[in-house]
Chains A and B, each alone.
Chain A
Amino acid sequence: TQLLEQSPQFLSIQEGENLTVYCNSSSVFSSLQWYRQEPGEGPVLLVTVVTGGEVKKLKRLTFQFGDARKDSSLHITAAQPGDTGLYLCAGAGDAGNMLTFGGGTRLMVKP
């Protein structure tokens, strides 16, 4: 069974601060996805990383896939209140297309 440990579980910061969310596993994933979910809505795909060591940027968000494809991080620069939400990482194993989700990080950015 593949497990993804996501940390921190909760994060409350002031507008303008930087933050990093981590997603770790002892298993290797063929790809890893990051989603953002707002209350009462479905998760929205932010990015997919596939190659070990890959770095992708989406405006103020930087995503990194570990060299061994076992871990990933999401870094947000100069957080804004609009970044508030539940961030989920999810990994796809080599065996198929099922996703293993991390426990989620609930981010609150205060103005």
Chain B
Amino acid sequence: GAVVSQHPSWVICKSGTSVKIECRSLDFQATTMFWYRQFPKQSLMLMATSNEGSKATYEQGVEKDKFLINHASLTLSTLTVTSAHPEDSSFYICSAERDRIYEQYFGPGTRLTVT
């Protein structure tokens, strides 16, 4: 298999606080993980590419100081939304690339609601 987990599944936080989302590849090692954001009834929007042991590569328009990504090991990447605001409310999905064959396996997503 190629299972990717995310934690938490959903989180509600107050404006101004920070939230950390974890993405784990459970049965394979992932040199590269990706973080996406998805708005209701829309497709996925790539936020950043996370590479183990190096800095993440952010897409244009994504604030790297607001969305902190750490890929500490071959099975774990974290996304921290700092000083969250209501407009950061969204569905955040991670994916992991297996075996460098350019297939991405997605986590179940994390629904973030900022009040």
A contacts, CB < 8 Å to B: 30-31, 33, 35, 40-45, 48, 88, 90, 92, 97-99, 101-104, 106
Contact = CB atoms under 8 A, between A and B. Distances in A.
Interface residues of B, number: 25
28 contacts: A31-B102, A35-B106, A40-B91, A40-B111, A42-B6, A42-B95, A42-B107, A42-B108, A43-B93, A44-B106, A45-B103, A45-B104, A45-B105, A48-B101, A88-B44, A90-B104, A92-B102, A97-B32, A97-B97, A97-B100, A98-B34, A98-B46, A101-B43, A101-B44, A102-B43, A103-B42, A104-B42, A106-B41
B49 A41 contact: no
A99 B41 contact: no
Interface of B: 4, 6, 32, 34, 41-44, 46, 49, 91, 93, 95, 97, 100-109, 111
Contacts of A45: 103-106
B49 A42 contact: no
B104 A99 contact: yes
A97 B102 contact: yes
Contact of A33 (B46, B104, B107): B104
B39 to A, nearest CB: 11
Contacts of B109: 40-42
A55 to B, nearest CB: 18
A31 B49 CA distance: 19
B53 to A, nearest CB: 16
A102 B43 CA distance: 7
Nearest to A35: B106
Given A42-B93, A88-B43, 9 more contacts: A30-B102, A40-B109, A42-B107, A42-B109, A48-B102, A88-B44, A99-B34, A99-B104, A101-B43
